[in-house]
Amino acid sequence: MKGLSAHLLNKENLDFVRRSAWKLGRPRIVELGLRYYGEHPAEVDVIAKNLARVGFPHDGAALDAVLEGIAAHYYEKLFALVKTFEAYWISKNRVELGVSLDVFAEARETGKGMFVAQSHFGATYLLAGVLMAHGIEASMVGNFPGQVGTLLRENGATIAARYGTARANLLNLADPAVDVPMEMLVRLKQRQILSNVFDENNEFSRPVKLLGRDLYGGSGMDLILRHFDDDQLIVVTPFLVRTSDETFRYEIDRHSLAGGDVIQSFYRSLERRILAHPEQWYFLQELHESFEDKRK
């Protein structure tokens, strides 16, 4: 379901977010998102049914919190597309890190590559900025069609040039000129840091369990990871958890390629965050698609 994303991603909103500080921009975009849901009850019904599918409360305050969380996600998307100094400042000053980034230093010191398995949870559009602001260069795989890919690439380059951050290199699935699976293999074999989502259902996905339900996921990442072992690659799942309207906590789990089903291990990490913060699981707008077997 792409209705809210398409509704909010327009020149007027991009200009507003570019001009406005987080404290002004976020509540306005969230308000527009909630207004959209008020005008599109069929889309709200899909989200409510998906909540019910996994046994979560699906009306009243619980549903309202999820709708607000989805709207906040799309504000963060607009923010990542157009903000420069404030994006850098928030990554440096509003994110609780603890020792979560130590594993990236370990990868550098030991000469290992890293696979960073992301999911549709929390403030995902700000994850790349956190790594950039702390000197960690990574390649990010994603489907960034049209102006989204252009703006992400240009804005990231501007931040790196102005503030001396590391770079975020995009591998855009929407670009037919890029052989993304081959690029992923090459970059991991070169011991680089590579990030991709694992919780989308596509023709390469396979059965997994989440919240006691059988669905399809993995996005084919096991087909990439089978070429590596723990001596070559560190594998992690990061989560940028919202701790308030303007603060975050970077959490990271480490996974072993030799420890069994690594994809299912990713889902166990995701499940723990969902149970703790169901309102931050913005994938609820399309969860129903994960119950369909799309394998060829």
| Tokens (6 digits) for 292 | 């369909």
pLDDT at 296 over 80: no
The residues spanned by each domain of the chain are 3-291
Chain segment 115-172, per-residue pLDDT in tens: 999 999 999 999 999 999 999 999 999 888 888 888 999 999 999 999 999 999 999 8
- Cross-strand pairs, 253: 237
Residue 148 neighbours by CB under 8 Å, 6+ apart: 9, 81
- Do the Cβ atoms of 214 and 228 come closer than 8 Å? no
d(CA 86, CA 180): 31
* Architecture field, domain 3-291: 3-Layer(aba) Sandwich (3.40)
Q: Which own/partner contact pairs does 13-17 have at CB distance under 8 Å and 24+ positions apart?
A: 13/78, 14/78, 14/81, 14/82, 14/151, 17/75, 17/78, 17/79, 17/81, 17/82, 17/83
| Residue the block writes with tokens 């709708």 | 67
| Residue the block writes with tokens 């993304």 | 180
Short-list 274, 282, 255, 257, CA closest to 266: 255
pLDDT value at position 2?
A: 62
| Tokens (6 digits) for 268 | 């166990």
pLDDT at 26 over 50: yes
- Cross-strand pairs, 250: 240
Chain segment 175-214, per-residue pLDDT in tens: 888 899 999 999 999 999 999 999 999 999 999 999 999 9
In this structure, the dihedral spanned by the alpha carbons of residues 41, 43, 47 and 52, taken in order and rounded to 10 degrees, is: 60
| pTM, 2 dp | 0.95
d(CA 88, CA 138): 16
User: Residue range 50-61: average pLDDT?
Assistant: 97
pLDDT value at position 22?
A: 98
- For the purposes of burial, counting CB atoms within 10 Å of the CB of 70, is it exposed (0-12), middle (13-18) or buried (19 or more)? buried
- Do the Cβ atoms of 86 and 159 come closer than 8 Å? no
pLDDT at 228 over 50: yes
Q: In 54-196, which ranges are continuous DSSP H helix?
A: 60-82, 85-93, 102-110, 127-133, 146-163, 180-189
d(CA 233, CA 115): 7
d(CA 66, CA 51): 9
Segments of the chain assigned E as strands: 95-96, 113-118, 138-142, 168-172, 193-197, 206-210, 213-217, 233-242, 248-255
pLDDT value at position 1?
A: 42
Supply the mean pLDDT for the chain.
96
